[in-house]
Structure 1
Amino acid sequence: MKLPSMTPRSRLTLALLWLAVLALAGWWLGSRVELSGDLRKFMPAAETRGQKLLIEELGEGPGSRLLLVALSGSDAQTLAMQSSALRERLLPQPQFKLVANGGDSGLEAIPEGLRPYRYLLSDTADTHRFDRAFLSAELGQRVQDLGSPAAALLEPLLPRDPTLETLKLAEAWQPANAPQRLHGVWFDRAGREALLAIETRAAGFDPKGQQAAVDAIRAAFAEAAGKSGSRLTLSGPGAFSVEIGGRTAKEAGWIGTIDSVIFALLLWLAYRSWKAPLLGGLPLASGGLAGLAAVTFFFDGVHGITIAFGFTLIGVAQDYPIHLFSHQRAGLSPWASARALWPTLGTGVASTCIAYFTFLVSGVDGLKQLAVFTIAGLGVAALTTRFLLPGLIDPTPRDAADSVRLAGLWERFARWPRLSGPAYYLLAAAAIAIAWWAPGPFWQNDLSRLTPVPAPALARDAQLRGELGAPDVRYLVAVEARNAEVALQVLERLQPALAKLRADGAIAGFDSAARYLPSQAMQRARQARLPDRSQLQRAFNGAVTGSAFTADAFDGFVDDVETARTAPPLAPHDLDGTPLAAAIGGLLLEHNDHATALVSLNGLKDPAAVARVAKQHGAALLDLKQASESLVAAYRERVLLALALAWVLLIITVWIALGQPQRVLRVLSPMVLTTLLILAVLRGFGVELNLFHLVALILAAGLGLDYALFFDHAGDDHAEQLRTLHAIIVCSLTTLLVFALLALSSIPVLRAIGSTVALGVVCNFVLALLLVRQPATRKAFNT
């Protein structure tokens, strides 16, 4: 069907309608897109115990929520006052579960409603009977206490707690390796920095929540410090994620700005028209919004990585209008030009979409999102280029084939020797040998190597963790049980063995939920040892007789013991809303069908001994570093399987499109050799390959296929060869500059993508010329 030619007015109307639809779609998506920062969506399904725990710890564990704070730059007394002021300002704020600086007595951990339960939480009833002799000894000790400097602290407790169970619990619950105290708060060993440990309510994968917490801490410190000149150091996963997010946004901002300027300049120079950059951006914008809409429709939330990485991947869509612009010439309708290009363009689009379609079978939610985004984006960008963009193109543009400079460049390329079969296989074999035998590990399994956090910041974090006695972030003892009660019982049996390991020097300390909340079985056993009201009253009256106290000085003591004796035992959910909930929240993880209890370790020196003891008690020592490496390896296997399937489907697609085995081999050969050369160059420079290199290889392969398809499409027609060369030069330059900038990024992920694709652009362009271009016929040259 021949479409009518578009008048300038109709072209303007179509452009305005297109822009209006994009604006409306952008507004609609902006009100409905729910962003997610949960990195677990880009992890494969965990299989081993360690992998499952790692996935939980990445987002919900206390380690991901812990922020470490150091105040410095003033004298110790000033820093102590500022530490207390900072704590007072942060405690009431809802984004924090715990703000600890060593300045509290620990009594706040037991709110009024839990005070009677102190006799079930304390181990006093395990070794003493509440008889007259025990109570007399306790009252005698209280007389001495009231004459000590601690009298002011103890006096308010005595009326209801003459045995000071509350104070015993507060002391027992103090951190096992707490730092020294100066002026009532925590300080480092040198006495120069006041220290705080803050646990956020926001999960570690919640960038907005972590940003809000960091902002609140900085604002509170600014108020507390005033003009004193004190400095705040903030460390921990949340602080790092905020810093990384800010740096990533900053780099993405300037890279995006430079990319946009370069894209506009190149298109203006290439087509001598200010309209070209504007028109060329319409299919790209349409594809981006379509990809975002597709992910929003098929998934509950859109991951931030999907958006950032997806827009990078569909950047290949900028090539579609460039091909249309370069092949347009006077006397040929833009609709006819688009129709003639469509089989080649469609084949390239279909092949690229097939490559990403295989991610749908990866079993990883994040990769599925990325596949849907890319497929929808590339498809819409290609369709709008085919069916909408021709209506906006000037039907009488400058023909690229008329360029004398371009013809001279093509003549120089034509003199390049074609890459023969033996040379091709020799080059491929050399690339394989370099990639395989290059020194150093082939794959990068260490997730920490992908962090853009500077080494000094990581060293500072390790120093603060050491000063605060924070637990080891690599090793944990884990207990899997059918419910929390069984898990707590296992912990209680395990604790004496761990205490012996501590005495033997295998570990410096440990912490578990059983330290704060005994099992219900243990609580019932303690209830059975408590006397009833009448027995306790007689024993206490006898103890008071002859003491320095009067019987009415301890109103409430007998009532509290009776309440503890008859009340239902405490369960984990009974601690909700209390400071104890924060203490055990990260150490006792309850699920619908099971519970996981964790034992955090300090100063682990003998993992084998700890593993042996844990196994004897039905627990396991987990190495989260090993778990992360095995998870990465499992992820890589899924991606490699997806790539293998992609190659098979890609070959089938090209075969169907071209039909001739010789043409299929000629089109695919540059892409294959480029992939091998990229691997050889990266490995030759000692680069360990990670998952992002693999995903970037797919993008590089898609670009190479496009270049080869269009050179094949040009055949031996000299004019078509020049137009194709013009299009591919513009495409490759824009892509090369974009990804070369990414290769200069300080973010390892962006650097991996940028370096891989930039190498691919260069290799694909050169190899397409050496392998696919055909010599122009004499008739074509003379025409």
Structure 2
Amino acid sequence: MRLALALAWLAVLLLAGWLVAARLEFSGDLRRFLPDARTPEQRLLIDELGEGPGSRLLLLALSGDAPEVLAAQSQALQAALAPDPRFSLVANGAAGDLSAFPADLLPYRYLLTTSFDDTPLDADALRDAFDARLQDLGSPAAGLVEPLLPSDPTLETLVLAEAWAPAAAPEPIFDVWFDRAGARALLLVETHAAGFDPTGQLDAVETIRARFDTVRGDSPAALQMTGPGAFSVDIGGRTQREAQRIGMADTIGLVLLLLLAYRSWKMPLLGALPLASAGIAGLGAVALLFPAGVHGITIAFGFTLIGVVQDYPIHFFSHQRAGLSPWKNVRGLWPALSTGVIATCIAYATFLFSGVDGLRQLAVFTVAALAVAALVTRYLLPGLVDPAPPDIADSPRLQRLWHRIEALPRPKWSLAVLALASLASIVFAPGPTWQNDLSKLTPVDPEAMALDTELRAELGAPDVRYVLAAQGIDADAVLAATAALRPALDARVADGRLDGYDMAARYLPSADVQRARQSALPDAPALRAMLASVLADSPFRADAFDPFVADVERARTAPLLTVRDLQGSPLASAVSGLLLVHPERATALVSLSGLDNPADLATVASAASGADVSLRLLDMKDASESLVIEYRGRVLAAMSVALLLLVATVWIALRKPRRVWRVLLPTLLTLLVIVAVLRLAGVELTLFHLVALILAAGLGLDYALFFEHAGDDRADQIRTLHAVLVCSLMTLLVFSLLALSSIPVLRAIGSTVALGVVCNFVLSLLVARHRAAIEAARAEAEPLA
């Protein structure tokens, strides 16, 4: 009968797991763990982090071979990557690098170029252009110029390609970019995938590496790659490797601990069933309620709940003994077990109202997993266990240990001293209490960060801190407003106050500018007449330039170029990252590199604001810090509500103030001690420390509830001691391994909960346990003697 039930349970788990796996969609977008933006700066920060140009850039460096070999490899790599739809821009400084200029937009070059804004396209301009082309044809550049001549004698294609090259680009060597030392060939790649699309970024990074391996051949050259996408790929791989190592160690430790604790090979197998049920239930719940995707952090953190979920079967196993029906055993434990489950679920359920999608997912996963683990322990697990195992209370070692524990003095005033000392440490510990800098949470290797800083300086890639933002009612208004800033920005670049800048107006002029350029273009008959006059004494034939006449005429009469026309072209990514168009407003961004005097530029932006367009300089660092502070406020509010509900749950379950106080005191003291120790250790608290505190509180509540539930029966106290020892050791193993992780999020969670396990166990043992009946009777009799 027990075997049939186990097989049926396993079959249901396999079927449920298959159904959940088929429905589950994973997401790596960290914006799910950010609160709803309230200010313009916060909204822009979230858009910029995920979609902006800085988040899409990959910086490449080829080194380890002779410069001419590296230059050839750079050319070959650029040629291999440019046609790939994964990339919107692949630039290496080559003169013939026109990948950013799509062929179907070539006729529009006379609406996009600034060449004829001051000097019209007339006979004089054409004469100068053809004289220059004659010289070009006699130079090494002839191979590049000759194919362009029939349609583009003024070389506007090259003019635009140069204008669209990254600002502050390095000087080329062998016709491609090199660093200042001339030892590394540099490339700048912009991906179509957004910065918070880990799958797309992984695909892009792996494609670049594969293409480089092909291009390199037998050369000893090496590829270095940096940028947000490369960081996310490295972090993802490192997280996966650490998760596998930690998971393997946890599994081995769990099996060995259960074998040692119960001397039976069945217990690890039986204990795994509630855990598997909880995991599948949690995944199924979030897959059902969040069809857009479940974040990996939700799943990673959710499965750390092994420390709570495993408590339920362990308490059941430790209290089972001969002469006691498993069903009666679990019914006796159910009041304490269910109280702990309800309290922990209520604590996490408060995150449903945090306004943060990632925390809502975490709440759903946790509540579903804990509830199912408790229910299967209550209604299924008793049908599988041996009804007559050895009684844990008969263990001589545990009896001696409990005897020593009973000899410990009951703490009274010392607890008040501990609480006051912890509060004083929290208040007076040196250094900031909260960590508001998102960048310090990243697990990016310091050497990789140093390389990123170095290559950004070499390539003039945009910074992500300061951004000029123009907000108005439509795209034309904000494009015109940012274009009007170009003289002021160019002046600052010229005198060194600004290294460079980029804006959508570089690629897409406003409608008014395009109309003005159209009206200045000659019509086809006039242009042919000019060509005939200019080329009368030239080796060029006038009829050879019919494609040029056709392109100018099309530019003169074509509908104005809009953002929609750029869709599907490489320019779309550059413009979309700098021009954010919404139904009721539009925002044009100007990314800045090497800004020395933010206040000066903020004054310029403020002065340029008008009735239709507001211009301001945004500090993304301040915006990120304000977002973190707001996020923390919501989590602290949720924790406050959770604490009140936790107290209410324990009060309803126990009803007597003395019992309630005995259960809650260890948990409350533990929370104070954890925060105090972290502060004294110089740890700046993050969101993940706060979330881990909820988990630590749930664990402490379980320990105290079961010590309280054991009452004054010595045998039951020993069984409870055994169960809590096994639970705490298992949880300590899991979270100690997390505390050793190189991933800041996992390290914060692991260290917080591991410290909480130790404090909860010690304080629950000292505060929540009852005196054994024999000891209490002896204590009462002594005064009479």
Q: Give the TM-score band, short-chain normalised.
A: over 0.9
Task: Say whether the 8 Å CA contact 1:287–1:314 is kept in structure 2.
Answer: no
CA distance in 2 between partners of 1:86 and 1:211 (Å)? 18
Report the equivalent of 1:43: 34
Report the equivalent of 1:671: 667
Q: 1:239 aligned to 230, 238, 248, which one?
A: 230
CA distance in 2 between partners of 1:539 and 1:745 (Å)? 73
Report the equivalent of 1:196: 187
Deviation string for 1:133-171 (max 9, x for gaps)?
443444344444444443333233232333333332223
Task: Say whether the 8 Å CA contact 2:32–2:357 is kept in structure 1.
Answer: yes
Report the equivalent of 2:336: 344
Cα deviation for residue 510 of structure 1 reads 1.2
Cα deviation for residue 653 of structure 1 reads 0.7
Report the equivalent of 1:12: 3
Query: Secondary structure at the residue paired with 1:125?
Result: coil
Larger mean Cα displacement after TM superposition, 553-562 or 206-215: 553-562
Report the equivalent of 2:732: 736
CA distance in 1 between partners of 2:128 and 2:667 (Å)? 87
CA distance in 1 between partners of 2:153 and 2:388 (Å)? 99
CA distance in 1 between partners of 2:440 and 2:666 (Å)? 32
1:695 aligned onto 2:687: no
Q: How does 1:572-583 map to 2 (within 5 A)?
A: 572-583=563-574
Query: Secondary structure at the residue paired with 1:18?
Result: helix
**Change over 3 Å in CA distance of 1:252–1:386 after alignment to 2:** same
Cα deviation for residue 105 of structure 1 reads 2.2
Larger mean Cα displacement after TM superposition, 632-641 or 266-275: 266-275
Task: Say whether the 8 Å CA contact 1:202–1:210 is kept in structure 2.
Answer: yes
Task: Say whether the 8 Å CA contact 1:82–1:225 is kept in structure 2.
Answer: yes
CA distance in 2 between partners of 1:654 and 1:638 (Å)? 24
Q: How does 1:49-128 map to 2 (within 5 A)?
A: 49-128=40-119
1:185 aligned onto 2:181: no
CA distance in 2 between partners of 1:744 and 1:311 (Å)? 17
Report the equivalent of 1:771: 767
CA distance in 2 between partners of 1:539 and 1:233 (Å)? 52
CA distance in 2 between partners of 1:356 and 1:715 (Å)? 29
Deviation string for 1:519-551 (max 9, x for gaps)?
111000111222333333333333333445433
Report the equivalent of 1:5: none
What RMSD over aligned residues (CA atoms) do the two structures have, in Å? 1.7
What is the identity, as a one-letter code, of the residue corresponding to 1:416?
A: L
Q: 1:280 aligned to 261, 271, 274, which one?
A: 271
Task: Say whether the 8 Å CA contact 1:501–1:610 is kept in structure 2.
Answer: no
Report the equivalent of 1:390: 382
Larger mean Cα displacement after TM superposition, 97-106 or 207-216: 97-106
Q: 1:262 aligned to 241, 253, 266, which one?
A: 253
1:750 aligned onto 2:746: yes
Report the equivalent of 2:755: 759
Query: Secondary structure at the residue paired with 2:310?
Result: helix
Query: Secondary structure at the residue paired with 1:478?
Result: strand
Larger mean Cα displacement after TM superposition, 433-442 or 500-509: 500-509
Cα deviation for residue 131 of structure 1 reads 3.6
Deviation string for 1:255-279 (max 9, x for gaps)?
1111111111111111111101110
Cα deviation for residue 621 of structure 1 reads 1.2
CA distance in 1 between partners of 2:154 and 2:176 (Å)? 27
Report the equivalent of 2:120: 129
Query: Secondary structure at the residue paired with 1:124?
Result: coil
Cα deviation for residue 617 of structure 1 reads 2.0
Task: Say whether the 8 Å CA contact 2:170–2:177 is kept in structure 1.
Answer: yes
Task: Say whether the 8 Å CA contact 2:111–2:514 is kept in structure 1.
Answer: yes
**Change over 3 Å in CA distance of 1:209–1:394 after alignment to 2:** same
What is the identity, as a one-letter code, of the residue corresponding to 1:44?
A: P
Report the equivalent of 2:17: 26
Larger mean Cα displacement after TM superposition, 74-83 or 164-173: 164-173
Report the equivalent of 1:466: 457
Deviation string for 1:720-768 (max 9, x for gaps)?
1111111111111111111111111111111111111111111111111
CA distance in 2 between partners of 1:72 and 1:781 (Å)? 82
Cα deviation for residue 718 of structure 1 reads 0.7
Task: Say whether the 8 Å CA contact 2:94–2:176 is kept in structure 1.
Answer: yes
**Change over 3 Å in CA distance of 1:77–1:713 after alignment to 2:** same
Q: How does 1:441-590 map to 2 (within 5 A)?
A: 441-590=432-581
Query: Secondary structure at the residue paired with 2:80?
Result: helix
Report the equivalent of 1:3: none
CA distance in 2 between partners of 1:760 and 1:583 (Å)? 49
CA distance in 1 between partners of 2:550 and 2:502 (Å)? 32
**Change over 3 Å in CA distance of 1:211–1:106 after alignment to 2:** closer
Query: Secondary structure at the residue paired with 2:148?
Result: coil
Deviation string for 1:74-112 (max 9, x for gaps)?
111111122222222223333222222222424443333
Query: Secondary structure at the residue paired with 1:109?
Result: coil
Report the equivalent of 1:638: 634
Structure 2 gap ranges (5+)? 610-614, 779-785
| TM-score between the two structures when normalised by the length of structure 2 | 0.96
Q: How does 1:593-612 map to 2 (within 5 A)?
A: 593-612=584-603
Q: 1:159 aligned to 150, 156, 159, which one?
A: 150
Task: Say whether the 8 Å CA contact 2:283–2:365 is kept in structure 1.
Answer: yes
CA distance in 2 between partners of 1:779 and 1:606 (Å)? 76
CA distance in 2 between partners of 1:409 and 1:290 (Å)? 38
Report the equivalent of 1:418: 410
| TM-score between the two structures when normalised by the length of structure 1 | 0.96
CA distance in 2 between partners of 1:251 and 1:559 (Å)? 61
Q: 1:614 aligned to 593, 601, 605, which one?
A: 605
CA distance in 1 between partners of 2:53 and 2:167 (Å)? 17
What is the identity, as a one-letter code, of the residue corresponding to 1:247?
A: R
CA distance in 2 between partners of 1:106 and 1:584 (Å)? 19
Larger mean Cα displacement after TM superposition, 170-179 or 692-701: 170-179
CA distance in 1 between partners of 2:631 and 2:734 (Å)? 28
CA distance in 1 between partners of 2:700 and 2:207 (Å)? 49
CA distance in 2 between partners of 1:170 and 1:202 (Å)? 23
CA distance in 1 between partners of 2:272 and 2:152 (Å)? 75
Cα deviation for residue 419 of structure 1 reads 1.3
Q: 1:403 aligned to 395, 398, 402, which one?
A: 395
CA distance in 2 between partners of 1:465 and 1:33 (Å)? 38
CA distance in 1 between partners of 2:515 and 2:637 (Å)? 55
How many pairs were matched up? 772
Report the equivalent of 1:364: 356
**Change over 3 Å in CA distance of 1:354–1:187 after alignment to 2:** same
CA distance in 2 between partners of 1:150 and 1:765 (Å)? 78
Report the equivalent of 2:201: 210
Report the equivalent of 2:781: none
Cα deviation for residue 710 of structure 1 reads 0.6
CA distance in 2 between partners of 1:50 and 1:706 (Å)? 43
Task: Say whether the 8 Å CA contact 1:432–1:680 is kept in structure 2.
Answer: yes
1:374 aligned onto 2:370: no
**Change over 3 Å in CA distance of 1:155–1:781 after alignment to 2:** same
**Change over 3 Å in CA distance of 1:633–1:190 after alignment to 2:** same
1:682 aligned onto 2:673: no
Structure 1 gap ranges (5+)? 1-9
Larger mean Cα displacement after TM superposition, 299-308 or 126-135: 126-135
Report the equivalent of 1:7: none
CA distance in 2 between partners of 1:439 and 1:501 (Å)? 41
Report the equivalent of 1:333: 325
Query: Secondary structure at the residue paired with 1:156?
Result: helix
CA distance in 2 between partners of 1:344 and 1:427 (Å)? 27
Query: Secondary structure at the residue paired with 1:471?
Result: coil
CA distance in 1 between partners of 2:659 and 2:537 (Å)? 109
CA distance in 1 between partners of 2:240 and 2:121 (Å)? 64
What is the identity, as a one-letter code, of the residue corresponding to 1:369?
A: Q
Query: Secondary structure at the residue paired with 1:632?
Result: helix
